[in-house]
Amino acid sequence: MTAITLDNVYVDFPLLAQNRSLKRLLSLSLQGSRLGSANGKSVVHALKAVNLELKSGDRIAVVGPNGAGKSTLLRVLAGIYPPVIGEIAIEGQVGALLTTGLGMRDDISGYENIDFCLMLQGVPAKKIPAKREDVAQFTELGEFLDINVGAYSSGMRVKLAFAISTALDPDILIVDEIFGTGDASFVKKAEKRMLDLIDRADILVFASHASSLVEQFCEKAIWLQDGNIVEFGAIKSVNAAYLRHVAAESN
């Protein structure tokens, strides 16, 4: 059974001692209640007392302003950030599309990057040859896959990064925005690949500022504000409440 449970989860990030870093962090739109201390050190409370249960079939959007804790929550759900307080239980294989090009190296070839990045994503060694062929065909980079990625154009890098990132078969798919995918001729293929990946996942958690996208892919939504879950429920209801809040804040 596929599921994720968060029980009273807190995530803190330390405030750096350097003046420049401290000024930058304090300039963010954070409520005073998010600045505190832990073990005698100043911290930002990125998530506070988060309780959440996701089950098979859930399609969950995560909405909220910049700095609300959306990316932090996604990384907790992906098992990347451990909570400082509370517990997280994950049942099922997680695939996270959080940063394109993660792990890609300029000093090795496209083919070598495919193998290396697939291993970083936890793909079993016996599955890598088939995945490598899938990625290679999708990119349409041909002989360029034999040369070092450092010689690639930005568009070629995006194609390779996208193809690798979506070469997954996860039970739980975590997506932080849907990223750009290169030139116009590549966009249609990329959209279909992303939709197929979303359809295959048993649980989807998707953060985006685009209301039309979250309502297209998701049935429920979590509204995060200042590290807290404000509301969790039907997508249209939660999204409407959040957008009313945004409008009220701007007046």
Q: What are the residue ranges spanned by the domains of the chain? A: 3-92+207-250, 97-201
- Of 15-24, 55-64, 133-142, 237-246, the poorest mean pLDDT is in 15-24
Give me the mean pLDDT over the 161-185 stretch: 81
72: left (phi over 0), alpha (psi -120 to 50) or beta: alpha
Q: What is the CATH number of domain 3-92+207-250?
A: 3.40.50.300
CB atoms within 10 A of CB 197: 20
Does residue 29 have a pLDDT over 50? no
pLDDT, position 137: 96
Whether 48 shows a pLDDT value over 80: the answer reads yes
d(CA 117, CA 105): 9
The whole-number pLDDT of residue 36 equals 66
- The per-residue pLDDT for range 215-231, each reduced to its tens digit, is 888 999 999 999 999 99
pLDDT at 39: 65
Look at residues 30, 128, 121 and name the one whose alpha carbon lies nearest to residue 80: 121
Query: Regarding predicted confidence, which is higher, 70 or 178?
Result: 70
228 closest CA partner among 48, 6, 5:
48
Average pLDDT in the 163-179 region? 86
- Is the four-CA dihedral 107, 109, 111, 112 of positive or negative sign? negative
State pLDDT tens for residues 87-144: 999 999 998 888 767 789 999 999 999 999 999 888 899 999 999 999 999 999 999 9
Domains 3-92+207-250 and 97-201 equal at CATH topology level: yes
Q: Which CATH class is domain 97-201?
A: alpha beta
